[in-house]
Structure 1
């Protein structure tokens, strides 16, 4: 915003004595005012992960309802809900129907999703409805799980992008599981197509605005590719993000309690955040010891920063152990 300083008016004609009036100072050149920073959030959204919705575990249903009840009565704006994988426990039709039944009971903002490893678990379910490793893949295919996910959410591919406000969101999904590629285990395998898509989409962000990349499995240590329970093509993933400032990556999968002392934020060339879980919050021994907990993240984007806060949904309370403010790099 430009401001012009008040200009002095030069007198015309002579003074009362008949002598020319004394010249007034020349008008000063207008100068732009210092740029003002908008202190209001430009975008606010919730990230949920690892819902594990199943009719065989009523606690997962209870926790999702608690989260949605909190979100729909939130103290501040929620413009989108992002779910980063493991929406279902087994990826079976009854899981999706239960999820649909629950969310239809709430007036929600737009919901965006990606796939987790559990959304492929249909291959472990035998003809009697039991979890059966001995008869894997039980006449099922990974393609059926992908198709079920895409059909339910109206997607053409497991991965997708969205514009929320003026910000880019990239929802990455593992594209295969143990029936097609036994070597991936519980890891996230991304195809050449998806990796090229990531590079193209990231490259579209020329103005340095934050970009939000959603994955499910976490990254392995820097310099390595991942294995089971990790993002497999991690070196290429990191290299793709390297040249771009203000990239925020959010993952799930670990279920780690925000209050158990495990780090949930890592600074690389991008910002990596590990979410907790709605369905089952785990302690450091990966036990669901606090069955009453259901946690997630609330993200607010400002002109000069991004804030990320952990939420305990059943208590409708913020978690002081999960509270970050990340200044944005000026471009």
Structure 2
């Protein structure tokens, strides 16, 4: 009898140890403790990340790095292609990362639409109904009412344009379509509480067409350039191309300013020895950090993987 009781007790203890071990192994892994490196006394600070493509590991590295740069940053802008396909499970994955990192992220996160939000790789060409479905999934993720939207943060205007179609019978898989309604809205928003010399921040996933040929994609590029020609205060951020961040990532005096944001998922590097003169670096993580003091804007390109600054550019449109 004593031997039987001993066996039972041994089994119970083994089960308890097994349960404890299972819970420990499978419990959510805590975010690594991050040492706060610096803060900022700027009037406004924000970061822009493009082309995450639901690369959760790279996105987590970017979140951690930006927190060390400035734990009190005001805004994070996700400038399109946050997901690789516009599927619920990918949006859920991104939402989980944002929720898990709530303490490391700014209170304001602006989520813009790209071209991959219109993708399901099992669908060759989207119907009008499928386009609407993709847009609705994006709207639920972003918390916006339309693919174009704006907000004021610390008295600075943030304006996001967004494609209203994608990968369909009426437009290809990479080009943005901006309706006349959106263009008129854009004109009104640029004029709203306009102050000469005061920066206006504009975002669109696809870049404007200036004849450089790489993944250009805005059907109404000329119309947008015409509107922006009246606003030298505008600093426009574009993603989409996965171009490497270099000194020429900022283009001045169009008369507005254009900034290439780099990409989180992978980076395309110019390389004369590779086919097509370029190669893909899947382990590169790039992004943009901005500080604003009055009408002065400092834009910094960041190599997130190496935790190094690539360039710093100061802009004053007065």
Question: Within 5 A, what are the aligned runs for 1:19-168?
Answer: 40-53=41-54, 60-75=55-70, 77-106=72-101, 107=103, 108-109=105-106, 110-122=108-120, 124-125=121-122, 133=124, 136-137=125-126, 141-168=130-157
Taking structure 2 as the reference length, the TM-score comes to 0.78
- Alpha-carbon distance change, 324 to 227 in structure 1, aligned in 2, over 3 angstroms: closer
Shift of 1:287: 3.1
Partner of 1:212: 201
Query: Which of 278, 293, 305 pairs up with 1:314?
Result: 305
Q: How does 1:183-262 map to 2 (within 5 A)?
A: 184-208=172-196, 209-221=198-210, 229-259=216-246
Query: Deviation string for 1:239-286 (max 9, x for gaps)?
Result: 112222311000001111125x7x312121100011110111111245
Residue 171 of structure 1 corresponds to which residue in structure 2? 160
- Structure-1 residue corresponding to 2:264: 278
Inter-partner Cα distance in structure 1 for 2:140 and 2:245: 33
Q: Tell me, what secondary structure is at the counterpart of 2:134?
A: helix
Greater helix share, structure number: 2
1:162 deviates by 0.7
Q: Using a 3 Å threshold, how does the CA distance of structure 1 residues 157 and 75 change in structure 2: closer, same or farther?
A: closer
In structure 2, what is the Cα distance between the partners aligned to 1:75 and 1:157? 30
User: What is the rounded CA distance, in whole Å, between the counterparts of 1:265 and 1:204 in structure 2?
Assistant: 26
SS in 2 for 1:71: helix
C-alpha distance in 1 between matches for 2:71 and 2:58: 21
Q: CA deviation at 1:148?
A: 0.5
- Give the length in aligned residue pairs: 268
Structure exhibiting the larger radius of gyration computed from Cα positions: 1
Distance 2:53 2:249 in 1: 21
1:308–1:46 CA distance, 2 compared to 1 (3 A): same
Contact 1:116–1:216 (8 Å) recurs in 2:
yes
Q: CA RMSD in A?
A: 2.4
The CA distance in 1 between the partners of 2:76 and 2:156, in whole Å, is 15
Q: Distance in 1 between matches of 2:151 and 2:287?
A: 21
SS in 2 for 1:283: strand
- Consecutive unaligned residues of structure 2, counting only runs of 5 or more, are 1-39, 271-276
Kindly indicate whether the alpha-carbon contact (under 8 Å) linking 2:175 and 2:206 is maintained by their aligned counterparts in 1: yes
CA contact (8 A) 1:256 1:286 kept: no
1:161 counterpart SS class: strand
Q: Is the 8 A contact 2:118 2:166 kept in 1?
A: yes
The residue aligned with 1:287 is 279
1:75: Cα distance to partner?
A: 4.3
> What TM-score do the two structures reach when normalised by structure 1?
0.75
Query: Is the 2:209–2:216 Cα contact (8 Å) retained in structure 1?
Result: no
In the alignment, the residues of structure 1 paired with residue 57 and residue 128 of structure 2 have an alpha-carbon distance, to the nearest angstrom, of 32
Task: Flag structure 1 segments of 5+ consecutive residues without an equivalent.
Answer: 1-38, 54-59, 127-132
